[in-house]
């Protein structure tokens, strides 16, 4: 049987009368990159804080490395790297001073690896924390989560504030977990990010786990809104019956459509005609949820 690095059973948290999460059952396998996906306020951060024993559950249980998340939280924390969604750092220190402080608390780390991470993430560790932008503070937070080569990475919205090139480098760093026998648990509200990064995804909405899917399956459900501009108007029936098109509107030489799942048939049809430009609009996560899971309440912890 595959080792379960994270396991929850009926995990529930209420903040007074307000719902946090309800009856969440999740298993994360050793060596995989697992994504927990949901809109802001769905309960992702609550789930992470329960796993780390930062808050106590109203019901159910959670274990990490087979250890009880409450009784063995200190032992668990030694083996993980964590990036919180709401990052707070010691403003008076430089990035290097902060990381050396954390390294000392952990009994030392390989400083050459810290410098490698800083170079890859384009982080100037000589700068005072108080002078850094949100994105550059995020880089320091990521380095502290990664620098001791943890067995488990728990990252809450890890790409917040990062520019696209640094995001891509971070994806490569996280993906290296697969070859370094590290497991990753990544919270995100960004559907393309989860598709790019994760092996499996738990979809959480309004505090409940509504689906648990392989990323390949998630991609089959993908929705994309396409706007294709041709050199001249295509025939009116050119896209009729093409697999995957949910709706279609042709405005002179511009075709507007929504495509579900595999793009192959649509792309092959487009390629028959001279194309000036193609614009793909990724739908919001809320739109995806409305398409596959229906409506519902708004707001959550």
pLDDT in tens, 239-256: 888 988 988 899 999 999
Is the same domain home to 177 and 196? yes
Q: Measure CA of the first residue to CA of the last residue in the chain; give whole Å.
A: 35
Q: Is residue 97 packed enough to be buried (19+ CB in 10 Å), middle (13-18) or exposed (0-12)?
A: middle
Q: Say which CATH number the domain at 235 has.
A: 3.30.70.1560
Please give the average per-residue pLDDT across 281-285, as a whole number.
69
Is the same domain home to 162 and 235? no
Domain boundary among 168, 199, 219: 219
Is the same domain home to 234 and 140? no
> Domain for residue 227, yes or no?
yes
> Domain for residue 301, yes or no?
no
> Domain for residue 299, yes or no?
no
Please give the average per-residue pLDDT across 211-220, as a whole number.
79
Is the same domain home to 39 and 159? yes
The values of phi and psi at residue 44, to 5°, are -65, -50
pLDDT in the model for residue 300? 42
- 152 vs 193, higher pLDDT: 152
pLDDT in the model for residue 297? 46
Domain boundary among 179, 202, 219: 219
The C-alpha atoms of residue 85 and residue 188 are separated, in whole angstroms, by 10
Is the same domain home to 207 and 228? no
Q: CB of 44 within 8 A of CB of 84? A: no
pTM over 0.85? The answer is no
Q: Say which CATH number the domain at 157 has.
A: 3.40.50.300
> Domain for residue 133, yes or no?
yes
- 3-state DSSP: the chain helix, strand, coil percent, rounded to 5? 30, 30, 35
> Domain for residue 52, yes or no?
yes
Is the same domain home to 95 and 184? yes
Is the same domain home to 52 and 177? yes
Write the pLDDT tens digit of every residue in 35-75: 998 888 889 999 999 999 999 999 999 999 999 999 999 99
Among the residues of the chain, which ranges form H helices?
Answer: 44-51, 73-78, 95-105, 111-120, 134-146, 164-175, 191-197, 215-220, 264-270, 285-293
Q: Is residue 236 packed enough to be buried (19+ CB in 10 Å), middle (13-18) or exposed (0-12)?
A: exposed
Write the pLDDT tens digit of every residue in 75-109: 999 999 999 999 999 999 999 999 999 999 999 99
Name the pairing type of β-strands 200-205 and 33-37.
parallel
Whether pLDDT at 7 is above 60: yes
> Domain for residue 298, yes or no?
no
Domain count, the chain: 2
Is the same domain home to 129 and 188? yes
Q: What token pair was written down for 218?
A: 């998630």
Is the same domain home to 118 and 147? yes
Domain membership of residue 229 as a residue range? 222-293
Q: CB of 142 within 8 A of CB of 169? A: no
The C-alpha atoms of residue 72 and residue 90 are separated, in whole angstroms, by 27
Is the same domain home to 171 and 86? yes
Domain boundary among 219, 238, 260: 219
């Amino acid at each position: 049987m595959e080792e379960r690095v994270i396991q929850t059973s009926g995990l529930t948290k209420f903040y007074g009368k307000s719902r946090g999460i309800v009856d969440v059952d999740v298993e994360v396998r050793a060596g995989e990159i697992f994504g927990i996906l949901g809109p802001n306020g769905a309960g992702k951060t609550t789930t992470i804080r329960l796993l780390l024993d930062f808050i106590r559950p109203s019901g159910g249980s959670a274990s990490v490395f087979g250890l009880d998340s409450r009784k063995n939280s200190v032992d668990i924390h030694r083996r993980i790297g964590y990036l919180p969604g709401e990052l707070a750092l010691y403003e008076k220190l430089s990035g290097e001073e902060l990381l050396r402080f954390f390294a000392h608390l952990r009994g030392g780390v390989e400083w050459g690896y810290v410098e490698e991470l800083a170079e890859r993430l384009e982080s100037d560790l000589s700068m005072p924390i108080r002078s850094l932008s949100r994105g550059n503070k995020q880089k320091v937070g990521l380095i502290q989560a990664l620098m001791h080569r943890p067995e488990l990475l728990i990252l809450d919205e890890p790409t917040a504030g990062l520019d696209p090139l640094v995001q891509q480098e971070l994806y490569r760093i996280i993906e290296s977990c697969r070859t370094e026998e590290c497991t990753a648990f990544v919270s995100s509200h960004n559907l393309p990010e989860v598709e790019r990064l994760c092996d499996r995804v738990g979809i959480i909405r309004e505090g409940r786990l509504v689906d648990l899917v392989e990323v390949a399956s998630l991609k089959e459900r993908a929705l994309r809104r396409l706007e294709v501009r041709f050199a001249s108007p295509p025939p009116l029936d050119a896209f009729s019956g093409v697999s995957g098109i949910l709706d279609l509107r042709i405005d002179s030489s511009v075709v507007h459509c929504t495509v579900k799942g595999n793009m192959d048939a649509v792309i092959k049809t487009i390629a028959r005609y001279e194309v000036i430009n193609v614009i793909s609009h990724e739908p919001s996560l809320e739109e995806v949820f409305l398409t596959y899971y229906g409506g519902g309440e708004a707001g959550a912890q």
